[in-house]
Structure 1
């Protein structure tokens, strides 16, 4: 079974693709391919952040009311 890439790995790959596309040294077919892959990675990263935010909100909420986060 293939190991799922970590968020940071996906973000680094996305940044690399964006930089390559911004340089403009990519032919059209490669640019379209990179753009498609970059959009997929962007969605995966966005979904991961949304899930993380929801999990944090669940942790911070007890008995239906939001609790202050205290570091001791």
Structure 2
């Protein structure tokens, strides 16, 4: 029973991927940002991760400076 279910799931997923269209298997084609410009990508990563890592420190500073 489990074997038939997993076989059905695998076939359904494979069929979905084949029929999804538009994606030719090119790495990075389905990402929401461009990979063409290395420097812009690096800057975007620094801003994205830097904002997440720096936010607690800015919140702490704001709380400490509040009257």
TM-score, shorter chain, exceeding 0.5:
no
Q: With the length of structure 1 as denominator, give the TM-score of the two structures.
A: 0.30
Superposition TM-score, scaled by structure 2 size: 0.32
Structure holding more strand per residue: 1
- Structure number with greater Rg is 2
